[in-house]
Amino acid sequence: MEHFAQLLLISVILANLFVLGSHPLGACIRAVALQGIALGLLPLCLHPDERSIHLFIIALGMIGLKGCVIPGLLFRAIRDAAIRKEQEPLIGFNTGLLLGAVLVGLGFGIAGKLPLPPYTESSMVVPVALSTVMMGLLVIVTRAKILSQALGYLILENGIYTFGLILAAGLPGLIEMGVLLDIFAGVFIMGTVIEHIHREFGSISAHKLVNLKE
């Protein structure tokens, strides 16, 4: 089962690299949806001895939320905006890919410095989580469309959730539900704001949001 977990974690990183390197917004949203599904399946692989109805329900809820509902909200936002492609971001797609690979290396390096908690099954969870967090921040900072910034926020949250997976014993299900709800509400509000911005400004390019200055 550890190998399946490793495959899922690899696909998480691949989804990040895909978002960093590609421009069709629809494809990026689908990549993040697949990432969410992979993350939903991870708890079942990482804690095989704790499999219970509770875990299955959480996994199902996660897959539903991250794989269907949240991407659905984002698709609705871009359908209204009729924007299908991302502009060339601040650092370019090629440089983004290169930086993404560097961040993966950095994530593995930092994770090597932190002592591994004794009860984790897979030693790849912490590095993948840290890399995903960093790559989410990279997407937020460099993207030209605000929908991509929201996508970067989702990737960031996915990375943090990945890290939370090693704590299944430490963090009660209530908090997980609370976290999920908050993320959902956050994305919902973001989607609403994106629609409003499209209506006001006529586009969802972040280059238009420059009126507030010193």
**CB-CB contact of 70 with 161 (8 Å):** no
Q: How far is the CB of 77 from other proteins (least distance, A)?
A: 13
CB of 142 to other proteins, least distance (A): 14
Q: Which residue has the tokens 């560097």?
A: 102
Closest separation in Å from C-beta 112 to other proteins: 8
Q: Are the C-beta atoms of residues 149 and 140 closer than 8 Å to each other?
A: yes
- Minimum Å gap between C-beta 59 and other proteins is 19
In angstroms, how far is CA 97 from the centroid of its own chain? 16
Cα 133 to the chain's mean position, in Å? 8
Least Cβ distance, residue 152 to other proteins (angstroms): 9
> Closer to other proteins at the Cβ: 19 or 44?
19
User: Which residues contact other proteins by CB under 8 A?
Assistant: 2-3, 6-7, 10, 13-14, 17, 21, 93-94, 97-98, 100-101, 104-105, 108, 113-115, 117-119, 123-124, 133, 137, 140, 146, 149-150, 153, 156-157, 159-160, 163-164, 166-167, 169-172, 175, 178-179, 182, 185-186, 189-190, 193, 196-197, 200-201, 209, 211-212, 214
Tokens 């690979």 — which residue?
101
What is the Cα 137 distance to its own chain's centre? Answer: 10
Considering beta carbons, is residue 90 or 189 the nearer one to other proteins? Answer: 189
- Kindly tell me which of 82 and 88 has the beta carbon lying closer to other proteins: 88
The DSSP line for 146-190 is HHHHHHHHHHHHHHHHHHHGGGTTTS-HHHHHHHHHHHHHHHHHH
Instruction: Find, among 42, 64, 2, 60, the residue nearest to 163 by Cα.
Output: 42
Residue with Cβ nearer other proteins (42 or 104): 104
Q: Which is nearer to other proteins, 48 or 117 (CB)?
A: 117
